[in-house]
Amino acid sequence: MFNRFVGTAAVILALAAPAVANAQGVPGGVERGAREGERAAGPIGAVVGGTIGGVVGGVSGILGVDDRPRFRSYVVEQRRPSYSYRDEVRVGAVLPADGVTYYEVPDNFSAARDYRYTVVNGRTVLVEPRTHRIVEIID
């Protein structure tokens, strides 16, 4: 029984990894990994795919590992004011449309060009412009 589960998990991992690698952030990775895993192997696949998707999504994010320090330095150099937010600053939180200034991401960070950034409670965040949902925290 255990060998069967391990074998199934390996197949799911092989099938879901390419789709999960494109996921953006932990929530996107979990959702996409679960969807792909369920298609590949049903409910067990959804659990395994969601777990793997969360790990991969959390590691990769929107900005690559090499771009994160450069982007953070760019924002610090811009000296953007920090918006005071009373709730927890986390991926998935929705910021208000009014009172927060959202800035264009420079062209040299092409992976994030569809997003905006702002500074919230001293932390740089990438935000989905239509929903104002935080999609990545740049620390």
**Which H/E stretch holds residue 116?**
strand 116-120
Q: What is the tens place of the pLDDT at every residue in 77-96?
A: 999 999 999 999 999 999 99
Six-digit token string for 83: 């918006």
Candidates 89, 88, 124, 131; CA nearest to 109 is 124
Instruction: Report the alpha-carbon distance of residue 50 to residue 72 in Å, rounded.
Output: 29
Q: What is the mean pLDDT of residues 25-42?
A: 63
pLDDT at 22: 42
Whether the model pTM is above 0.75: no
Alpha helices in 65-139 (DSSP H): 67-78
- pLDDT confidence band for 66 (50 / 70 / 90): confident
SS in 3 state form for 61-107? CCCCCCHHHHHHHHHHHHCCCCECCCCCCCCCCECCCCCCCCEECCC
- Least confidently predicted of 15-19, 46-50, 129-133: 15-19
pLDDT at 82: 96
pLDDT at 58 over 60: no
Nearest 5°: CA angle at 17, between 51 and 7? 75
CB 41 within 8 A of CB 11: yes
pLDDT at 100 over 60: yes
